[in-house]
Chain A
Amino acid sequence: MMSDPNAERKGWLSLLAKSPAADVARYWEALDLAPDHTVLRSPEIGGVMVRGRAGAVGAAFNLGEMTVTRASVKLSDGTVGHGYVQGRSKDHALQAALVDALMQTDAADTVDRCLLAPLRKTITDQKTTRAAKAAATKVDFFTMVRGED
Chain B
Amino acid sequence: MYVAVKGGERAIDNAHAWLAEERRGDVAVPELSVAQIREQLALAVNRVMAEGSLYDPDLAALAIKQARGDLIEAIFLIRAYRTTLPRFGGSNPIETEDMTCDRRVSATFKDAPGGQILGPTFDYTHRLIDFKLAADGDVGTAPASTPSPIATPHIMSFLDREDLIQKEPAGADIPDDLTRTPLELPANRALRLQSLARGDEGFLLGLAYSTQRGYARNHAFVAELRIGAVAVEMDIPELGFAIEVGEITVTECETVNQFQGSKSQPPQFTRGYGLVFGMTERKAISMALVDRALRWKELGEDNVGAPAQDEEFVLYHSDNIQATGFLEHIKLPHYVDFQSELELIRKLRSEAQENINREVSE
Contact = CB atoms under 8 A, between A and B. Distances in A.
Interface of B: 49-50, 53-56, 58-59, 82, 85-94, 96-97, 100-103, 110-111, 115-120, 142-148, 154, 156, 168-175, 177-179, 189-191, 193-194, 197-198, 231-234, 236, 238-248, 250, 252, 254, 271, 273, 275, 277
Contacts of A130: 100, 102
A47 B54 CA distance: 8
B232 to A, nearest CB: 6
B86 A46 contact: yes
Contacts of A65: 53-55, 82, 85, 87
Closest 10 CB pairs of A and B: A59-B171, A58-B168, A86-B246, A14-B244, A132-B144, A61-B190, A66-B55, A131-B147, A55-B168, A47-B85
Given A17-B245, A56-B156, A66 B232 contact: yes
A62 B55 CA distance: 13
A60 to B, nearest CB: 5
A63 interface: yes
Contact of B118 (A45, A46, A132, A139): A139
Nearest to B121: A137
Interface string A45-87: 1111111111111111111111110101000000000101111
A14 to B, nearest CB: 4
Interface in A4-39: 4, 6, 9-10, 13-14, 17-18
Interface of A: 4, 6, 9-10, 13-14, 17-18, 44-68, 70, 72, 82, 84-88, 127-139, 141
Contacts of B241: 4, 6, 9-10
Given A59-B189, A64-B277, A138-B145, A14 B94 contact: no
A52 B246 contact: no
Contact of A51 (B94, B144, B246): B94
24 contacts: A14-B243, A17-B243, A46-B85, A46-B88, A47-B88, A48-B246, A49-B91, A52-B193, A59-B189, A60-B93, A61-B189, A63-B250, A63-B275, A64-B49, A65-B85, A70-B88, A85-B246, A87-B56, A127-B100, A134-B117, A136-B143, A138-B116, A138-B148, A139-B116
